[in-house]
């Protein structure tokens, strides 16, 4: 599985509309055959920072970045961002989320 986290710093003028502006991109990515999850989160410490957490099958990751909606999504986001996003992209064992061993809820 390919695990990706991308931190995006959004311009002040787009904070309230950012998720709406990337909605088509988000929905297209979630519909990809190799997508395991595609989720946006917003920092509680830095309101301009949005985190995109993605999981793709090994086979699905290449198709994702080669898709037309990926290219369009990048161009949609470009004018909304303050700077180049920071990213962590790694191949990891497994095919999704596991339960946290240190914090079990019965």
Torsion of CA 23, 83, 4, 22, to 10 degrees: 0
Arithmetic mean of pLDDT, 39-62: 93
Closest CA to 56 of 37, 79, 75: 37
What pTM did the predictor assign?
0.90
Q: For 32-49, write each residue's pLDDT tens digit.
A: 999 999 999 999 999 999
**Domains, the chain:** 2-91 (3.30.70.100)
Q: For 6-35, write each residue's pLDDT tens digit.
A: 999 999 999 999 999 999 999 999 999 999
Tokens describing residue 53: 């957490």
- Find the distance separating the first CA and the last CA of the chain, reported in whole Å: 29
């Amino acid at each position: 599985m390919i695990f990706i986290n991308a931190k995006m710093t959004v311009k002040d003028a787009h904070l309230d509309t950012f998720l709406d502006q990337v909605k088509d991109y988000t929905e297209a990515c979630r519909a990809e055959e190799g997508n395991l999850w595609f989720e946006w989160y917003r920092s509680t410490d830095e309101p301009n920072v949005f985190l995109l957490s993605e999981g793709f099958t090994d086979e699905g990751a290449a198709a994702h970045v080669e898709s037309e909606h990926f290219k369009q999504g990048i161009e949609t986001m470009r004018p909304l961002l303050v700077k180049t996003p920071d990213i962590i992209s790694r191949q990891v064992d497994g095919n999704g989320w596991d339960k946290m061993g240190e914090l079990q809820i019965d």
